[in-house]
Amino acid sequence: MRFLRFAFLALPALALTACDKGAPPAPEPSQAALDAPLAIPVMGPERPILAFGDSLLAGYGLKDGESYPARLEKALRARGVNARIANAGVSGDTTAAGLERLDFTLKSQTDKPELAVISLGGNDMLRGLPPGQTRKNLDAILKKLTDQHIKVVLLGMLAAPNLGKDYADKFNPIYPQLAQKYGAVLVPFFLQPVIDKPDLMQPDHVHPTAIGVDAIVSATVDDVANALPKEKMP
């Protein structure tokens, strides 16, 4: 199976701590639970969102319900947003493959998405494909979505260090420049919350674990929530 296959340098893992205050016969809630915000009742009309991309959205190596789109939907609903996220992630997809299937994917949706969350380009980079090709394909994808009045959250990727400075200088600016061109919300580096944190990554050192996905969701859920268009007045 084709999927992202590069390793990043490992640094000390993120320490996850919880402070439990046990008291027989039953332990009291942990301090983390006490500090967690209360869930807001889901309100308003359903907000259809399309998650479109590669294995980082498809949920490679994870169980059902552990993928980024699934956990993002849960996080949005905890904030009172009546989100329904369709997961159109395909492991191994390049920007060219994504562009090729975009029209079919949009036509296959029960309801037109209000927002598209895009994660593509990592496989282009790992294969050493020309950054100009990646830019052209992503530009076409964002144009199609913008022309259909679908707002976009663009999940950015950075070139692996071993590809060299020249490649990085051409690849890394693609995401911020296209986000600015099309008025998309940019997440500069989608994997930032888990990179260099081995405990949050699967053994391939590329795909996040379920806990890693939750870390990414925590870092990006506000970006997605704020990108949703304002609901129309009745």
> How does DSSP assign 11-59, residue by residue?
-PPPP--------TTSPPPPHHHHHSPPPEEEEEEEEEEEEEESHHHHT
pLDDT band at 44 (very low <50, low <70, confident <90, very high): confident
pLDDT at residue number 25: 44
pLDDT tens, residue by residue, 169-180: 999 999 999 999
For 91, phi and psi rounded to 5 degrees? -60, 135
Annotated active-site residue 204? The verdict is: yes
Q: Which member of 93, 124, 207, 214 is catalytic?
A: 207
Whether residue 37 is predicted with pLDDT greater than 70 in this model: the reply is: no
Assign 39 a pLDDT band (cuts: 50, 70, 90): low
In this predicted structure, what is the pLDDT of residue 1?
A: 42
For the question of residue 55 being annotated catalytic, the response is yes
Q: Where are the alpha helices (DSSP H) in 190-230?
A: 210-227
- Which of 55, 67, 91, 119 is catalytic? The answer is 55
Find the angle CA(143)-CA(113)-CA(189) to the nearest 5 degrees: 60
27, amino acid identity:
P
State the pTM of this model. 0.82
| Phi, psi angle pair for 123, to nearest 5° | -70, -30
Q: Which residue is catalytic, options 169, 204, 218, 222?
A: 204
Neighbours of 234 (CB within 10 A): 3
| pLDDT of 137 above 50 | yes
Half-sphere exposure of 18 (CA within 13 A, CB side): 10
Catalytic, 91? Answer no
Contact present, 89 and 61 (Cβ < 8 Å): no
**Torsion angles phi and psi, residue 40, rounded to 5:** -95, 135
How far, in whole angstroms, is CA 142 from its chain's centroid?
16
- R_g of the chain, CA atoms, integer Å: 19
Delimit the domains of the chain by residue range: 42-225
Which pLDDT value is given to residue 6? 41
Domain 42-225, CATH class in plain words:
alpha beta
